Amino acid sequence: MADTNRGVVYEGPGRVEVEDLEFPKLELDEQNHRKLEHGAILKTIATNICGSDQHMVRGRTTAPAGLSLGHEITGEVVETGRDVEFIKKGDLVSVPFNIACGRCRNCKERNTGVCENVNPARAGAAYGYVDMGGWHGGQAQYVTVPYADWNLLKLPGDRDRTMAKIKDLAMLSDIFPTGYHGAYTAGVTTGSTVYVAGAGPVGLACATACFLLGAAVVIVGDMNAERLAQARSFGCETVDLSQHDDLGEQIAQILGTPEVDAAVDCVGFEARGHGREAGGERPATVLNSLMDVTRAAGGLGIPGLYVTGDPGGVDENAKIGQLGIRFGLGWAKSLTFATGQCPVMRYNRQLMMAILNDRVEIAKNVNATVIPLEEAPAGYQEFDKGAARKYVIDPNNLVGAGV
């Protein structure tokens, strides 16, 4: 087995570099030497750039320079700890971005996004992310995964079948379950009309999930023409938020009514104003607009990221995640709200089966684009400019860059 490693490192606002890293160990860190005999070391097959990573790289979180990045990981097991029983060397696996112990109350209740034992600061942890427990990122050639029997989803079947669908399967670590979670918790079901705010990769994954759940009409809103075109490519209706102020009026032109049954926020805290207000950052604008256009007794799914610390916030309230939300409107309409990290393990096996049995083409819908590890900084730059792509990093040249 190799003893060298390279990966993507955050070096400060606007700067990421590919650097030599220490080869993973079955230990948490050098400070406390917590043994991870329940863990595994993976050779990374695919690892994606996420919009949440982009928030850090823009300097919109308290992430420290030197943080290794990446929480969307698919890999091959190359080593297991003494206590791992069921995951074996050579297994191809998907890694939920949530790190979970499988032992605490929240894990046992399937709330793995807020595991109580993997982050000393607060509930919930993730690989390579600020305030998420100090775990090393997976945009690297090799990475350590704790609690391997619990966390890892083994990809079934022979290797050739798995690799033939690897771009689709690479979406199981985060954006496909996250998009599905947003749709499911908003109450999307057979015959639903749905508005999805944001046509980035998570928004497109959410729209895909809405169709999988049986939605009759899925409307996607954004201000990026290329991303809206990508949404239309698999059957979505779209609204260009840079052109109009009245979202309800645009929805009425599609549905004949200004309201939808369910709505999903796939934008988060860096939301910008619509129409005449376009260009300025308005962190509550998406949440308020969703409350406007969702019917009474409807549901809002909110998988879009909101943070408790934003150095670049537009005002003092925004810097601590305190937003001007019209909660009274939501209360008056008896709306339901679902927030927080997606508990990936609640959905990933079912979505894997949909992929393997040709029920969904998630990689095509999000325009998955494979790049080699050394091109990761360029991928970050292009994604930040609004590229209608989901960048999949191929650290060990196992997927085939450009396919």
Indicate whether 189 belongs to any domain. yes
pLDDT at 31: 46
Average pLDDT for 143-162: 95
pLDDT category of residue 401 using cuts at 50, 70 and 90? very low
Q: With respect to residue 298, please indicate whether it lies within any of the assigned structural domains.
A: yes
pLDDT confidence tier of residue 1, bands split at 50, 70 and 90: low
In this predicted structure, the answer to whether residue 164 has a pLDDT above a threshold of 60 is yes
In a shared domain, residues 118 and 155: yes
The pTM (predicted TM-score) of the whole model is: 0.94
Give residue 85's pLDDT: 97
Same domain, 106 and 47: yes
Q: Quickly state the pLDDT bin for 310 (edges 50, 70, 90).
A: confident
Q: Which of 193-207, 286-300, 314-328 has the lowest mean pLDDT?
A: 314-328
pLDDT bucket at 165, cuts 50 / 70 / 90: very high
Considering the domain architecture, whether residues 140 and 101 belong to the same structural domain is answered as yes
* Bridge partners, 5 (sequence order): 21
Q: Are residues 116 and 77 in the same domain?
A: yes
Q: Domain boundary at 321, 339, 357, which?
A: 339
**Residue 60 CA, distance from chain mean position:** 17
- What pLDDT, on the 0 to 100 scale, is given for residue 29? 58
Q: What is the band of 176 on the pLDDT scale with cuts at 50, 70, 90?
A: very high
Same domain assignment for residues 116 and 139: yes
Burial class, 104, CB count within 10 angstroms (exposed 0-12 / middle 13-18 / buried 19+): middle
Asked whether residue 401 is assigned to any structural domain, the reply reads no
- Locate the DSSP E strands across 99-205: 142-145, 153-154, 193-197
Check whether 402 has a pLDDT greater than 50: no
> How far apart are the C-alpha atoms of 403 and 159, rounded to whole Å?
18
Q: Sorting pLDDT into bands at 50, 70 and 90, what band is 33? A: low
Question: Which domain does 111 fall in, by range?
Answer: 5-174+343-394
Rounded Cα distance between 399 and 275, Å, is: 41
Q: Are residues 19 and 157 in the same domain?
A: yes
Question: pLDDT tens digit string along 108-141?
Answer: 999 999 999 999 999 999 999 988 888 999 999 9
* Least confident interval from 60-64, 219-223, 256-260: 60-64
Residue 400 located in a structural domain: no
| Mean pLDDT score, 250-257 | 97
Residue 325 burial by CB count (10 A; 0-12/13-18/19+): exposed, middle or buried?
middle
Same domain, residue pair 11 and 70: yes
* Number of structural domains the chain divides into: 2
- Report helix, strand or coil for 95: strand
Find the mean pLDDT for residues 73-85.
97
- CB contact at 8 A, 138 and 50: no
Query: What CATH number has the domain bearing residue 293?
Result: 3.40.50.720
> What's the pLDDT at 63?
86
Residue 120 lies in a domain: yes
Percent of the chain whose predicted confidence (pLDDT) is above 70: 94
Q: Could you tell me if 350 and 247 lie in one domain?
A: no
Does the pLDDT value for residue 389 go beyond 50?
Answer: yes
What are the beta bridge partners of residue 92?
A: 76
Q: Same domain for 48 and 144?
A: yes
In the chain, the percentage of residues whose pLDDT exceeds 90 is 77
Taking residues 156-183, what's their average pLDDT? 96
Q: Is residue 322 part of a domain?
A: yes
- Asked whether residue 23 falls in the same domain as residue 169, the answer is yes
Q: Any idea what the Cα angle at residue 162 is, between residues 28 and 390, rounded to 5°?
A: 70
Of 339, 356, 378, the domain-final residue: 339
Do 347 and 379 fall within a single domain? yes
Query: Do both 162 and 237 map to the same domain?
Result: no
355, part of any domain? yes
Residue where a domain stops, chosen among 323, 339, 355: 339
User: Is 26 a residue whose pLDDT tops 70?
Assistant: yes
pLDDT bucket at 32, cuts 50 / 70 / 90: very low
Residue 44 lies in a domain: yes
Token couple for 82: 């003494």
Give yes or no for residue 312 having a pLDDT over 90.
no
CATH of the domain at 39: 3.90.180.10
- CA 295 – CA 285 distance, rounded (Å): 18
